[in-house]
Chain A
């Protein structure tokens, strides 16, 4: 990166400081044709946007001269040239004078050389031949239009992009975002060596050269300290597209950011530039190399020719951003696009030519820091979400779905109602499952006087599935004259257990803590220092498992039974355990029966036969059959509808 500071141009109309290569003032939008004067080269002679046909020629020459300028070569080349190094060293100390000296040398060299433009000039001349003043005016109009579109697009892009900032932190050349923006604003601050910088490696090097003092100085310049504008348009337009190319191929580079100037507000401003440029559609202007350090590859010289004409004729120098170098604009980009991009690079704050914006309006935005912009963006996104649902509704059903659910529900209710009202209850000969048979067998094995512990843990919702079986099991145990103790750890069973006994008694004990309470009773012992706290809860014997021969778990939750078998049963392996549960829990508990941990499982209405439950204690079994039949029909209907949909889709695909 060049070590020479960029020179700012002061707009003769409003006094705003602009980059040296800027074509239009970033505040008032007026053309800065005076800035685009190169000593020794023909000037445009127009101050109001008129495009001179002669502009491309000196521009072409300049570009051509820059091609061969040793200052535009890469670092290696620069290092090989002691003169250039000396120049760089000098420039670093005195920005203005040195940059002029550099330009002076270039001009002299350009004068000396014949046909320095080479292909560039030929292309420019050819383009110039094609141009007319009217075309330029159209270009101006198109330029303004595109500028407006670019600004809008930029706003949308910012709204969408949330993370782009991070990715923009380092562009493809390795330059950080803030540096690129600084360079955009102050391309003329960079000296020749900056102009030559192109490659990412160089950019990395240049990044390192930005010191705090330089940034501070740059900030001071931007804030309002008037500086002598650099008269010479030392930097011409460069293509922002410039892919990292060798320095020596740089046609022309516009220094954007003075590396020796510190700036803090600039990054924010500079940030805007590449964003804007990135938004430029492909068919629009081509961008100009951001940094003066950008070198234009030879293949882009034609693009530069396209670019330089309108720029020169308009007397404007676009500010070039580093970010623009990321985008390789196609050579076929129109001239207008290139102009657009150049101007756009300056900032989105670029006012329209008809509406000059005051410094106060521009400067705060220009000085907006990157993190401030991020926060503002997030805030605007949040505001934009007002009134909109941001969290997707999980179960947003359509009207048709609701009607379907209602119809099916009513159908089932109607079927059940009719089955209850019409005809007898009937009996259902359901297959007897092996676990249910084992449960019955285990219950039969209970002898007189055996201690049986009943653990309750079910809810009112499943009482119809469990209580018939539980009542029958309690009756069997009572008939066998076994000692039954009913406990629960579920508060709901305190008021629900009354259904199990005719007297409506509550469970004998309430065990606190759920499965932890049972575990504490299973593993714990009475300590020597006194009682355990849980002993205070018991009204009877706190030793729950002492002398127990059988445990019957009455639970509607497979999870509770599983936890019991994991936590309690291993500590009391001698106690046989069986379970009364619901139909939904049975499949999950089957492996425990298969492994021998559960002696038997009686689940729901289907296993009522195993315990010889009276039919009048069960729900209407005819209605049960009707319900099952309806579900079979609905399931088949779902399959058929799906198959039909698939067939229709396939036939439509075939016809298409």
Chain B
């Protein structure tokens, strides 16, 4: 019962938008208006989500919940960035440079961690998943592409090799295309379910 309102709203708005898309030359202004409203709503939703995150962590601090130290760090970082940015302005070069100086190494390190974790994952992948068509093809494919990225092969003097490598590099297209079509079909069905009220939107 309580899910009926959003379902009805979704169905009505979706069907109207679908019709508007089909008659886009005529309904362009209204289409743009509806999309603008959606932009505002999505931004507000994101704002609400961020506010909810901060309020939750403030509650954790107030209650002294286990791990509230992390919450203090988060709240301090959030408020510091917000206050400084509001005071100095978003376009202030000093503010942007400060953000850059702190966040770039941090995010870089996170990405570097990915490489380190992948190393340990590569050791375990066969022990965990065993031998199967998927894992064997995955392993062989990874080895081939890793070897190609080593740069030991010389392609200028060997057009045949270059052609062969080019064919190898085109092999992932088949799998990717199948995956894309499959994902698209699934998403299409889900969207149709939303339009026809089959899928309850969760608040």
A and B touch in the complex (CB under 8 A): yes
Task: Write the residues of chain A forming the contact surface with B, with a CB cutoff of 8 angstroms.
Answer: 401, 404-405, 408-409, 411-413, 428-434, 459-464, 494-496, 498-499, 504, 506, 512-514, 516-517, 519-520, 523-528, 532-534, 562, 571, 587-588, 590-591, 594, 606, 621, 624-625, 627-632, 634-639, 641-642, 645-646
CB distance from B117 to the nearest CB of A (A): 7
Which of B123, B155, B180 sits near A638, CB closer than 8 Å? B123
Query: Nearest chain-A residue to B28 (Cβ)?
Result: A525
Query: Cβ of B148 < 8 Å from any Cβ of A?
Result: yes
The answer to whether B107 and A461 touch across the interface, beta carbons within 8 angstroms, is yes
Which of A460, A504, A524, A638 sits near B29, CB closer than 8 Å? A524
CB distance from B37 to the nearest CB of A (A): 8
CA separation between A498 and B176, bound complex, in Å? 34
Given A412-B119, A594-B173, A433 and B35 touching (CB < 8 A)? no
Interface SS of chain B: helix
The 8 closest A-B pairs by CB, nearest first: A524-B32, A513-B39, A527-B29, A520-B35, A428-B151, A461-B111, A409-B116, A460-B107
Interface SS of chain A: helix
Query: Nearest chain-A residue to B161 (Cβ)?
Result: A431
* Contacting residues, chain A, for B93 (C-beta < 8 A): 498, 504
The answer to whether A627 and B115 touch across the interface, beta carbons within 8 angstroms, is yes
CB distance from A108 to the nearest CB of B (A): 66
User: How large, as a class, is the contact surface on chain B?
Assistant: 35 or more
* Contacting residues, chain A, for B173 (C-beta < 8 A): 590-591, 594
Which of A434, A606, A639 sits near B126, CB closer than 8 Å? A639
CB distance from B151 to the nearest CB of A (A): 4
Not counting A429-B153, A534-B32, a sample of 15 additional A-B residue pairs whose C-beta atoms are within 8 angstroms of each other reads: A405-B120, A434-B166, A460-B107, A461-B111, A498-B100, A512-B39, A516-B42, A523-B32, A533-B36, A533-B37, A588-B179, A590-B172, A638-B124, A639-B139, A641-B127
CA separation between A433 and B38, bound complex, in Å? 40
Given A463-B104, A495-B96, A630-B119, A587 and B172 touching (CB < 8 A)? yes
CB distance from A313 to the nearest CB of B (A): 64
The answer to whether B104 and A591 touch across the interface, beta carbons within 8 angstroms, is no
CB distance from B21 to the nearest CB of A (A): 8
CA separation between A632 and B173, bound complex, in Å? 23
25 contacts between A and B (CB under 8 A): A404-B120, A408-B116, A413-B116, A429-B154, A431-B153, A431-B162, A431-B165, A460-B100, A460-B108, A498-B97, A499-B100, A524-B28, A525-B28, A532-B36, A588-B179, A588-B180, A591-B176, A621-B151, A628-B150, A631-B118, A632-B147, A634-B119, A635-B146, A638-B126, A641-B126
Which residues of B (13-47) have their CB < 8 Å from a CB of A? 21, 24, 28-33, 35-40, 42-43
The answer to whether B176 and A588 touch across the interface, beta carbons within 8 angstroms, is yes
CA separation between A428 and B154, bound complex, in Å? 10
Provide the B154-178 mask, 1 if CB < 8 A to any CB of A, else 0: 1100000010011001101100110
Which of B24, B36, B91 sits near A506, CB closer than 8 Å? B91
Given A408-B119, A635-B143, A519 and B35 touching (CB < 8 A)? yes
Query: Nearest chain-A residue to B91 (Cβ)?
Result: A506
Given A404-B120, A431-B153, A459-B107, A528 and B29 touching (CB < 8 A)? yes
CB distance from A438 to the nearest CB of B (A): 12
Provide the B95-138 mask, 1 if CB < 8 A to any CB of A, else 0: 01101100110111011000111111011111100110000000
* Contacting residues, chain B, for A634 (C-beta < 8 A): 119, 122-123
Which of A461, A520, A629 sits near B110, CB closer than 8 Å? A461
CA separation between A433 and B169, bound complex, in Å? 7
Which of B29, B97, B106, B118 sits near A525, CB closer than 8 Å? B29
Given A431-B166, A591-B180, A625-B151, A637 and B123 touching (CB < 8 A)? yes
* Contacting residues, chain B, for A499 (C-beta < 8 A): 100
CA separation between A523 and B122, bound complex, in Å? 46
Query: Nearest chain-A residue to B147 (Cβ)?
Result: A632
CB distance from B46 to the nearest CB of A (A): 10
CA separation between A427 and B86, bound complex, in Å? 46
CB distance from B123 to the nearest CB of A (A): 4
* Contacting residues, chain A, for B42 (C-beta < 8 A): 513-514, 516
The answer to whether A513 and B43 touch across the interface, beta carbons within 8 angstroms, is yes
Which of A532, A562, A629 sits near B150, CB closer than 8 Å? A629
The answer to whether B111 and A462 touch across the interface, beta carbons within 8 angstroms, is yes
* Contacting residues, chain A, for B126 (C-beta < 8 A): 638-639, 641-642
CB distance from B134 to the nearest CB of A (A): 14
CB distance from B7 to the nearest CB of A (A): 21
Given A429-B151, A591-B180, A412 and B116 touching (CB < 8 A)? yes
CA separation between A413 and B112, bound complex, in Å? 10
Query: Cβ of B142 < 8 Å from any Cβ of A?
Result: yes
The answer to whether A430 and B111 touch across the interface, beta carbons within 8 angstroms, is no
CA separation between A37 and B130, bound complex, in Å? 72
The answer to whether A635 and B142 touch across the interface, beta carbons within 8 angstroms, is yes
CA separation between A504 and B101, bound complex, in Å? 14
* Contacting residues, chain A, for B40 (C-beta < 8 A): 533
Given A460-B108, A496-B100, A591-B180, A404 and B123 touching (CB < 8 A)? yes
CB distance from B79 to the nearest CB of A (A): 17
CA separation between A171 and B149, bound complex, in Å? 69
CB distance from B192 to the nearest CB of A (A): 16
The answer to whether B170 and A590 touch across the interface, beta carbons within 8 angstroms, is yes
* Contacting residues, chain A, for B43 (C-beta < 8 A): 512-513
Given A431-B166, A496-B100, A591 and B108 touching (CB < 8 A)? no
CA separation between A436 and B38, bound complex, in Å? 36
CA separation between A39 and B40, bound complex, in Å? 91
Which of A405, A464, A506, A629 sits near B116, CB closer than 8 Å? A405
CA separation between A562 and B29, bound complex, in Å? 26
Which of B33, B143, B165, B172 sits near A636, CB closer than 8 Å? B143
CB distance from A541 to the nearest CB of B (A): 16
Most buried by B among A519, A591, A629: A591
CB distance from A173 to the nearest CB of B (A): 39
* Contacting residues, chain A, for B39 (C-beta < 8 A): 512-513, 516-517, 520, 533-534
Most buried by A among B24, B31, B122: B122
